[in-house]
Chain A
């Protein structure tokens, strides 16, 4: 070993390796923008029914050269990012967060965190707005969003006045059963009654999400209350329901992929769309059945916001306008199989995906609710935390 370490060649080799690594990074920073379109070419190339961003936005975005995105790893289809880079010659620099609370902590500690695009949830939006860390959206720069995004999710409860956010996907946080183990014709399915009372059928093979607000929120929904309730009486009722259910809960786990695939779990509370993707891997027939309780459920919107620290907000507008082109949006939805508020993609989504991401009845979205400040701040949070503690004991 001594010889190996004393040998000058060893060190030259290690040094060379590190140098090569460093150089390959600097190299990867440069992206060939040779094929990138000019504004004229861009306008001319747009498919029918799509509108371009104004020239000002386009030029600012391209001049910025890079576009810093902060989102989940390995979720959205890669071709969306690659297509954008290729079309506009703007290099996307993507970072990923392990969860949204940690991402929020990062913005709190360093308000100048320079992301142009952050894919996040209403809770973060509320905090970021309070800390004055969000850039306002310039609606003149996103004509495709204006045209295709449904009215009720534009001016929505999570962003009154529609100033800071643009909706991408909508997750229905309800429950899923495995039809190989549970008779899907049970009269209580798809209501909440089955999840909260049907343990005789599912034999305690239930997994609930490991998130206080979501579990308690859906319990309130089952009782017919608002999931943002702060009424102690209503929350006490929810507590009683959960305490009664507790012996029948196998585990609290937000994404028990393996156990669900293995058939150890028969019924699971969570975002139903994730299980379509999972079911595709289970064999020719998807064993998972999404259940949308008629009383409504928790709705999880994924929102794009522009943190104040970003250097290229124009690129974010350009990207949003690009994303809302029906062809691109269809790519997104076919990839992630999530619900959405785009009104122009109906013919472009695969039939299977449509079946999964669309609740069986029209107008179902109105019965659902999004987690709002009353649930995650002040009295509401305190009451929920007390219930959660009892439940996890």
Chain B
């Protein structure tokens, strides 16, 4: 009887947790189909906001820009972060601990300061043109540390004699990386990418400062739009699209995983 109660309490607590996480999303989803622009009360079911969205070229362009930036950032930041994490774990050298801690710096520095510093750095010191190059480099610099930490976490659970076995069986270092190390790190690489993509896609502060002419990303556009636009519900519509896409992706992965398991 006692166990049953404990279990019931557990269920209730986790339900509350889920409610807390999901309620705003559900409300957002419902009201993005409401004919009233302010979602004050329910008027009627409509998809006009979605139609509107696709007829607002400024928003669509901003979405494309954000997707482009986030994709490139994810690829490079994941690669760089994974390599750095591997190096920090495998190679022993003086100051390794300090270096490992200092990787955290770009994440812990307040964004506004990071943004201002990057702008001055790009324009006065290294002369990287503002716009896509600067945004992507800035995003890599603050998202690669995430991959470093995800990788370090995974490295601790990997059996490293696998690399030695590979070398012993005749694979050189590069082949060992390709055939053994990377597959073993794949969960970490995937987790990093999944973290970094939205991190880059969402970023407002850093992007705002290092953006050049013609590189207004979706977050920049939406923040500016809040000031005068009379269609705030467009934000609900676009948010919903970006909530649904990852859910679809997760489902796709889940399905393909289930299929591989079933097949073997």
Contact = CB atoms under 8 A, between A and B. Distances in A.
* Chain A in direct contact with chain B (Cβ < 8 angstroms): yes
Interface residues of A, number: 48
Given A5-B186, A72-B224, A73-B58, A109 B39 contact: no
A109 B116 contact: yes
Indicate the size class of the contact surface on chain B.
Answer: 35 or more
Interface string A56-78: 00000000000010001111001
Interface in B207-229: 208-209, 211-216, 220-229
A109 B209 contact: yes
A2 B213 contact: no
Nearest to A274: B228
Nearest to B234: A74
Contact of A21 (B67, B213, B225, B227): B67
Contacts of A361: none
A258 B119 contact: no
A274 B35 CA distance: 21
A95 B225 contact: no
Interface stretch (B22-30, B166-174, B252-260): B252-260
Interface stretch (A97-105, A149-157, A178-186): A97-105
Contact of B213 (A75, A99, A109, A114): A114
Contact of A74 (B67, B212, B228): B228
Count chain B CB atoms within 10 A of each CB in A78, A110, A112, A258 and give the residue with the most. Answer: A110
A281 interface: yes
Q: Which secondary structure characterizes the binding site on chain B?
A: helix
A258 B40 contact: yes
B256 A68 contact: no
B183 to A, nearest CB: 7
B213 A262 contact: no
Nearest to B210: A110
Interface in A103-118: 105-106, 109-110, 112-115
Nearest to B219: A98
A96 interface: yes
Interface stretch (A22-30, A140-148, A200-208): A22-30
B209 A1 contact: no
20 contacts: A1-B253, A4-B253, A4-B256, A17-B71, A21-B64, A25-B68, A28-B61, A73-B225, A73-B229, A94-B58, A97-B208, A98-B227, A105-B116, A106-B119, A109-B119, A109-B120, A110-B130, A261-B38, A281-B36, A281-B38
Given A3-B260, A5-B190, A281-B36, 16 more contacts: A1-B256, A2-B260, A3-B256, A4-B253, A21-B64, A25-B64, A73-B224, A73-B227, A74-B228, A75-B228, A95-B213, A97-B220, A114-B213, A257-B232, A262-B41, A281-B230
